[in-house]
Chain A
């Protein structure tokens, strides 16, 4: 028991301490060596971040792109996973390899070559182009989760629904989606966070027209400007959590699945 409590505390520390550090940096007006804690606190960096003309546009762009990309990802992943679950002529290992392929290939190679193509198609610098490239990186994660969800669900519930008189849409909406809900929420949440945190795809394909939170955050972090960088990090964490909460509410939350009593 003591060992378990110790491990739990260790896990909490590993998660919370970095956030605490970010919080400290965000309000540390003066913090120099050899001081262990900031010597002067203030909201200076918050004011600087807020004063940036790209502050609200970056939050809006990140949220909009992530929302659209998430639902597009689900729209692609769901029927694909259903098909892959029902078919029996493709080996399982091949399916997994194909799903993982976008993750194995070097991201910089994909992003730069995609930018070259998008320039020819004249969708570089557009929201559409950015969403498409985000979806490319999100689909493998969504499919990995949904494939497992579909495998666990099987086909019997849907067949039963048909037998009781439901048509395909009714069976999907009233039976499949509610039963897949936990998997959908997990896939959507992960996809949202992946899109929200994309830097290179947005930097290249966005063509400086589309500014998102990572595009503001990362230059500050790279240049050692921890104060403003920390402020943007806190905003990033808060707004991405809000986004995930909204997605969860849209998909429907966890209502209706009661835990087994005995």
Chain B
């Protein structure tokens, strides 16, 4: 059961919305389309469910997945305002001429599953944001989709409710066994929920990878910039050695870069202090955080920001230190 999106493009007038996008969704995966606003994420979802026709490329459903059992939950839920909660949930079954008794039974199951007891006769305008979202999800899941498309499903919820809904979705997916394609521009959400992430920028796919792979090895500067959690240190690379601020660091160089290059150092890299060797740096700022201080260093005129630090002793502003970075950092060509 899955989906194969191959080289799809969409243009609105002269404006290119999506260009040459390809990715595959396997059974029981949660895929997040991740990118800034306006990059075409919602357009891709609409093309998958058939609301828009791609101008090039193909969308193939494999195994048990078909367009008919692929359902989209809109960002603003779009509950039918003239129908009650129960009527909204039952809508799809009613349109498919399912027997009344079965509709009633399945609606009751969904009401219990999504904790909507007592709200069956309420109208959408009388519900809170979280309740509306559960109704929208119930309305889709009652139809037992093989693939569920969610357009920024949690964007309008507060952080506590959002955490609850993350767990909810994972539980539902495990119980009902459907694949999920989710649209998000929230990095934490994408990393927390996804099996794999499709990073979109400039209307194109930049990288498709697991969150761990994405974080450890962003494919290019665009992905790294968009993830927004990296320092960039410019220096000279020779083989597996990177020279910066008079120090030599051991790096991965699969692209066999030579000369000037950029070393990616994630903000949450675990760095230690040493008295010999290491990277020479000056402490510029120290900010206390619950998970560990954020420290900003000056490394030969370049900024190095480290979060959730766990140094063996407190650092003072202006102090000269030597840092030990983990070996095998990733290099990118200089821009």
Q: Which residues of A contact B123 (CB under 8 A)?
A: 256-258
Mark out the residues of chain A between 224 and 261 whose CB falls within 8 Å of any chain B CB in the assembled complex. Answer: 256-261
Q: Which residues of B contact A104 (CB under 8 A)?
A: none
Mark out the residues of chain A between 169 and 213 whose CB falls within 8 Å of any chain B CB in the assembled complex. Answer: 170, 174-175, 178-179, 181
User: Is B299 an interface residue when CB atoms closer than 8 A count as contact?
Assistant: no
Interface 0/1 of A142-164, CB less than 8 Å to B: 00000000000000110111111
User: Is B174 an interface residue when CB atoms closer than 8 A count as contact?
Assistant: no
Q: Which residues of A contact B96 (CB under 8 A)?
A: 165
User: Is A84 an interface residue when CB atoms closer than 8 A count as contact?
Assistant: no
User: Known: A159-B51, A256-B82, A257-B81. Contact between A164 and B71, CB under 8 A?
Assistant: yes
Size band of the interface chain B makes with A: 20 to 34
Binds A, one of B72-80, B156-164, B178-186, B249-257: B72-80
Question: Is A156 a contact partner of B78 (Cβ separation < 8 A)?
Answer: yes
Interface 0/1 of B46-58, CB less than 8 Å to A: 1001110000000
Which residue of B46, B49, B125 contacts A260 across the interface (Cβ within 8 Å)? B125
Question: Is A261 a contact partner of B83 (Cβ separation < 8 A)?
Answer: no
Query: Which DSSP category, helix, strand, loop or mixed, fits chain A's interface?
Result: helix
Mark out the residues of chain B between 51 and 101 whose CB falls within 8 Å of any chain A CB in the assembled complex. Answer: 51, 68, 71-72, 74, 78, 80-83, 91-92, 95-96
Question: Is B81 a contact partner of A164 (Cβ separation < 8 A)?
Answer: no
User: Is B245 an interface residue when CB atoms closer than 8 A count as contact?
Assistant: no
User: Is A166 an interface residue when CB atoms closer than 8 A count as contact?
Assistant: yes
Question: Is B92 a contact partner of A165 (Cβ separation < 8 A)?
Answer: yes
Question: Is B92 a contact partner of A164 (Cβ separation < 8 A)?
Answer: yes
Give complex CA distance A163, B71 in Å. Answer: 6
User: How close is B164's CB to chain A, nearest CB, in angstroms?
Assistant: 21
Question: Is B125 a contact partner of A259 (Cβ separation < 8 A)?
Answer: yes
Mark out the residues of chain B between 206 and 260 whose CB falls within 8 Å of any chain A CB in the assembled complex. Answer: none
Give complex CA distance A36, B91 in Å. Answer: 64
Question: Is A160 a contact partner of B125 (Cβ separation < 8 A)?
Answer: no
- Closest B residue by C-beta to A257: B82
User: How close is B189's CB to chain A, nearest CB, in angstroms?
Assistant: 23
User: Is B139 an interface residue when CB atoms closer than 8 A count as contact?
Assistant: yes
Give complex CA distance A164, B49 in Å. Answer: 10
**Could you give 11 example pairs across A and B, Cβ below 8 Å?**
A161-B95, A165-B95, A165-B96, A165-B143, A167-B95, A174-B91, A178-B82, A179-B81, A256-B123, A258-B123, A258-B126
Enumerate the 5 nearest inter-chain pairs by beta-carbon distance, A residue then B residue, closest first. Answer: A164-B92, A256-B82, A258-B123, A166-B95, A260-B125
- Name 20 extra pairs, CB < 8 A, besides A178-B82, A261-B126: A156-B74, A157-B78, A160-B72, A162-B51, A163-B50, A163-B51, A163-B71, A164-B91, A164-B95, A164-B140, A165-B143, A166-B91, A174-B91, A174-B95, A175-B80, A179-B81, A181-B82, A256-B123, A257-B81, A258-B125
> Which A residues fall within an 8 A CB radius of B?
156-157, 159-167, 170, 174-175, 178-179, 181, 256-261
